[in-house]
Amino acid sequence: MTVEPSPADELAGVFAHLSGILLTEATVSSALDTLTSLAADTIGSSIGAGVSLLTADGKRTTSAATDPLVERLDNLQYELDQGPCLSSWRELSVFRSDGRDDEGRWPAWVPRAHELGMRSFVSAPLVHRDQACGAIKVYSTEVDAFDERDEDVLRRFGEQAAIFVANVQTVEAANRLSDNLKETLRTRDMVAMARGMVMARRRVGPEEAFRQLMAESHRARRLLRDVAETIVGSSTNE
């Protein structure tokens, strides 16, 4: 007799696998796609799942979705600035609806979502270190499709997705710092070379040479780095 793995076992297995993925920008997309697909498959009666995040320029976007209806329902929330996904994000809480007509929350979003065929949903925040960075949600076209167990499962999905997002943000911040550091070092080396050339040409000391570079930068209203590049470049034309 074959024993089917429980949802908890299935979640533990996929999370263990995903935790070993090196989170480049490409694999993050793959990891979120895997999480949303598993969420849609694990939570019964779901027609699709999605993850909402902020883009680099601060816009809300659906970063992963298993069905076009998910994106349409999410985009409607962004347009109206209301809905369960945004409420989960803002309030760090799980929201569930059975899809009946007396739903009083999100009065602008719910009627239009019903027009698209949506009835039930569960939405959970992506929380890392007490801060929300997005939300994960599942939708259904059936009334009363989800229960408390589904809330708990999606909450765990949200916790795992938050770890991925936080790791990505850490890597991206480190890359930006690395790029800034490289540029700083390049500027320092360029200025040092230009100062040495001024010292040799004008027979002045290092402090006076640097003062003259600064004076030229101010006079020409150019960055010190640009002034230094011009001086160093001039030596190749002599």
Cβ atoms of 212 and 202 closer than 8 Å: yes
Give the helix, strand, coil percentages of the chain, each rounded to 5.
60, 15, 25
* pLDDT at residue 92, rounded to an integer: 92
166 CB neighbour count, 10 Å cutoff: 17
**Cα angle at 137 between 6 and 162, to 5 degrees?**
80
> Residue 113 contacts by C-beta under 8 Å, 6 or more apart in sequence?
73, 76, 83
Domains (range + CATH), the chain? 7-169 (3.30.450.40), 183-236 (1.10.10.10)
Cβ atoms of 50 and 62 closer than 8 Å: yes
Q: pTM for the complete prediction?
A: 0.65
State the average pLDDT for the chain: 81
* pLDDT at residue 220, rounded to an integer: 83
Per-residue pLDDT tens for 54-89? 766 667 888 788 999 999 999 999 999 999 999 999
Reduced to 3 states, what is the DSSP secondary structure of residue 54? strand
* pLDDT at residue 222, rounded to an integer: 85
Helix axes 25-42, 148-202, angle to 10 degrees: 180
Reduced to 3 states, what is the DSSP secondary structure of residue 63? strand
Per-residue pLDDT tens for 152-205? 889 988 888 887 777 766 665 666 655 666 677 677 878 888 888 888 888 888
- Ramachandran class of 58: left when φ > 0, alpha when ψ lies in -120 to 50, beta otherwise: left
